[in-house]
Amino acid sequence: MGTIAAMFRPLELFIGQRYTHSRRRNRFISFISFASMLGIMLGVMVLITVLSVMNGFEKELRTRILGVVAHVTVSGKEGQLADWPTQVKQLEQNPHVKGAAPYVQKQVMITNGNYMRGAMIQGIDTTQQHKVAEVNFKMLAGSFDTLKARDYNIILGKELASNLGVQVGDKVTVIVPQVQVTPAGILPRLKRFTVAGIFQIGQPQYDEMGAFVELSDASRLFRLGENVSGVRLRLDDLFQAHKVAQALQQQLGKDYKVADWSEEHGSFFRAVKTERIVMTIILFLVVCVALFNLVASLMMAVNDKESDIAILRTFGMDSSTIRRIFMIQGSIIGVTGTIVGTILGVLLSLNIDVVVPFVEKLMGRKIFPEDVFYITTLPSDLHWDNVILIALASITAAILATVYPAKRASQIQPAESLRYE
């Protein structure tokens, strides 16, 4: 036995590798082992790819939503902020604040003939808005450059414009929830605006209820004078918005209200994160099914090699070495499947922008039609920490799956096995 061990070092690795592909009586065991390896490979590949796509969707949504939403807003207790230029200068002194811009925001009704819809109208200064949010999101018609003082132009969300039945150049009436006393009695305040553009963000709260006008036009419409509703801030790190908002609240005092983006959109992104976690668990179950096949194949291999194990024990091999042989056999299957699956998953994630158009060309149709989906491509954002975690989890699970069959193999008694040979 010592001579054999000297010829093949380490002996456990040599025998375990030979047992991985059965060449003698039962080729079915080799097929089961290959199926186990294939299942682990596909599970790891799909898990890496799906997580990358979901990360890409989250990144795309965060870019689109937070591109038009301020990280932090500062407003007055009564819905008005006086002397806002001074507040802007004071807030910009904070090291975490990278930009500040005033805004006016109120709820209104917008009508066009017999069509009437509620909307959230926002007054912005186009010369300062770029400091806190992107204004170049998907414009279907018109431009934000048309928002100028006293022109009374308005830019509507796609669904809102569709519900009102208007296009660029049409007139709409904005009804303010305030009244004015006239000789004819008490009447609601009305103002005619010209539709100067139509935008689409991909979120119902903006596409169905969003409207933008020029800042001074909004101040006159709501009779705010020189006041505004508040000031929007852009931070150097949006994930620190809650902490910065709390610090600003303590700095400004109780006469001001400070809010961050997580109060309005945090639940949405938490839901996306929860969905990603659930999807990870579901897909990892695919790997677990392959691991059950691995256990089954090892158990059949133990039964098939029972006489070989007895002979090795007769030559003086101890039970711990037998155990390591079958653990190595199962580990080879699991590690090989994991490595190949990881490589394929990374390649697919990095080239999904090429794979999807190729599949669409073969099918002769779009997977994500532009008239149905706002995001018409599969965005991918590969996180290497996810790849490493998936690979380590798969290898660890594969090694653990070999423990029971290896233990059974080490308990085989030579005399019992060779009695009927």
- At 3-54, the pLDDT tens digits run 444 444 566 666 655 656 555 555 666 677 788 888 888 889 988 998 888 8
Asked if residue 180 has pLDDT above 80, the reply is no
pLDDT of residue 110: 93
Whether residue 172 is found in the same domain as residue 284:
no
Task: Indicate the residue among 194, 226, 253 that finishes a domain.
Answer: 253
Domain count of the fold of the chain:
2
The answer to whether residues 276 and 299 belong to one domain is: yes
What gap in Å lies between CA 91 and CA 131, rounded to an integer? 13
Say what the pTM is: 0.69
- Over range 410-420, report the average pLDDT: 63
pLDDT digits over 134-151, tens only? 655 678 888 888 888 888
Per-residue pLDDT averaged across 123-130, rounded? 83
User: Which of 224, 253, 282 is the C-terminal boundary of a domain?
Assistant: 253
Pairing verdict, β 230-235 and 153-157: unpaired
pLDDT at 346: 93
In this structure, is residue 258 part of a structural domain? no
Six token digits for residue 324: 């390591």
Name every residue whose Cβ is closer than 8 Å to that of residue 326 and which is 6 or more positions away in sequence. 16, 19, 298, 301, 302, 402, 405, 406, 409
pLDDT tens for 360-395 read 788 877 777 766 666 667 788 888 888 998 899 888
279 in any annotated domain: yes
At residue 7, the pLDDT reads 43
**pLDDT confidence band for 420 (50 / 70 / 90):** low
CA distance 292 to 243: 47
Same domain, 286 and 235: no
User: 237: closest CA among 72, 39, 75, 43?
Assistant: 72
160 and 277 in one domain?
no
Question: Is 68 a domain residue?
Answer: no
Whether the Cβ atoms of residue 26 and residue 305 lie closer than 8 Å to each other: no
CB 26, CB 306: distance < 8 Å? no
Q: Are 109 and 193 found together in one domain?
A: yes
The answer to whether residues 93 and 242 belong to one domain is yes
pLDDT at site 226: 83
Task: Report the share of the chain in percent with pLDDT over 90.
Answer: 13
The two counts, helices (H) then strands (E), for the chain are 15, 10
Q: 229 and 303: one domain?
A: no
Q: Is residue 262 part of a domain?
A: no
Q: Which residue has the tokens 């830019």?
A: 155
CB-based burial label for 25 (10 Å; 0-12, 13-18, 19+): exposed
CA nearest to 167, candidates 148, 201, 141: 141
Q: Is 95 exposed, middle or buried (0-12, 13-18, 19+ CB in 10 A)?
A: exposed
Of the two residues 420 and 211, the one the predictor is more confident about is: 211
* Average pLDDT rounded to a whole number, residues 182-208: 79
pLDDT higher at 193 or 66 = 193
209 shares a domain with 184: yes
**One domain, residues 319 and 246:** no
Q: Do 397 and 291 share a structural domain? A: yes
Let me know whether 330 and 192 are in one domain: no
CA angle 375, 377, 383 (to 5 degrees): 100
| Average pLDDT score over residue span 219-235 | 86
Are 169 and 279 found together in one domain? no
Q: Is 1 helix (H, G, I), strand (E, B) or coil?
A: coil
* DSSP structure string for 94-135: STTEEEEEEEEEEEEEEEETTEEEEEEEEEE-TTTGGGTS--
Both tokens of 182, joined, read 């006239």
Tens digit of each residue's pLDDT (9 = 90 or more) over 248-289: 888 888 888 888 887 777 777 778 778 888 888 888 887 788
Does any domain span residue 153?
A: yes
Is 245 among the domain residues? yes
Q: Write the pLDDT tens digit of every residue in 284-328.
A: 887 788 788 778 877 877 776 677 767 776 766 777 777 787 788
Provide the domain limits for residue 109.
78-253
Phi-psi region of 150 (alpha: psi -120 to 50; beta: other; left: phi over 0): left
Q: For residues 80, 82, 84 and 89, what is the CA-based torsion angle, rounded to 10 degrees?
A: -130
pLDDT band with cut points at 50, 70 and 90 for residue 196: very high
Query: What is the C-alpha separation between 153 and 174, in angstroms, rounded?
Result: 11
Helix %, strand %, coil % for the chain, to 5?
55, 20, 25
Per the prediction, the chain carries an average pLDDT of 80
Specify if 261 maps to a domain. no
Residue 338 in any domain: the answer is yes
- pLDDT score, position 43: 87
